[in-house]
Amino acid sequence: MHPKLKNILALFAGLAIGSIVNMGLINMSSSAIPPPLGADGTTMEGLKASMHLFEPKHFLFPFLAHALGTLVGAAVTAFIAACRKFHLAMLIGVIFLAGGISSVLMLPSPLWFNVADLAGAYLPMAWIGWKLATLKDRERAVSTT
């Protein structure tokens, strides 16, 4: 397969699988940590209206969803990509970061969460995903020298 085509497919696979991980964790979050009484988390309007009721524990799963979705998406992309693995993994991080910024602009979440989420859940996780995905490549390179 042509390397450019393989890289494009890797990028789309990383975006799709990372998004599935993200949404899976978001969807199961209310089972693990029930929303506050009176909070409607099913719509954006309901979330906006009830955000003042949320406690720090309610922000754990959104952070994990953003971080693990980005990590898995970047790792999948770096694992599949033919070349430029680092750049493509970080592109996944930038794309997910753009989604995080839009979420911050749409939802009135606390400043501490916005800072932690935007600073810790995207680019650092993309970098870790790249490192994990290319660990075997580095081990193989070291063992052949």
Angle CA 5–70–84, to nearest 5: 35
Residue 47 CA to its chain's centroid (Å)? 20
Task: Tell me the pLDDT tens digit for each residue of 111-129.
Answer: 999 999 999 999 999 999 9
Between CA 13 and CA 17 the distance in angstroms is 6
**Amino acid type, 48:** K
Segments making up each domain of the chain, as ranges: 3-144
Mean pLDDT of the chain: 92
List CB contacts of 60: < 8 A, sequence separation 6 or more. 29, 33
**What pLDDT is recorded for position 88?**
98
Whole-model pTM?
0.89
- Mean pLDDT, range 61-88, rounded to an integer: 97
Task: Tell me the pLDDT tens digit for each residue of 47-58.
Answer: 888 888 888 999
Higher-pLDDT residue of 138 and 53 is 53
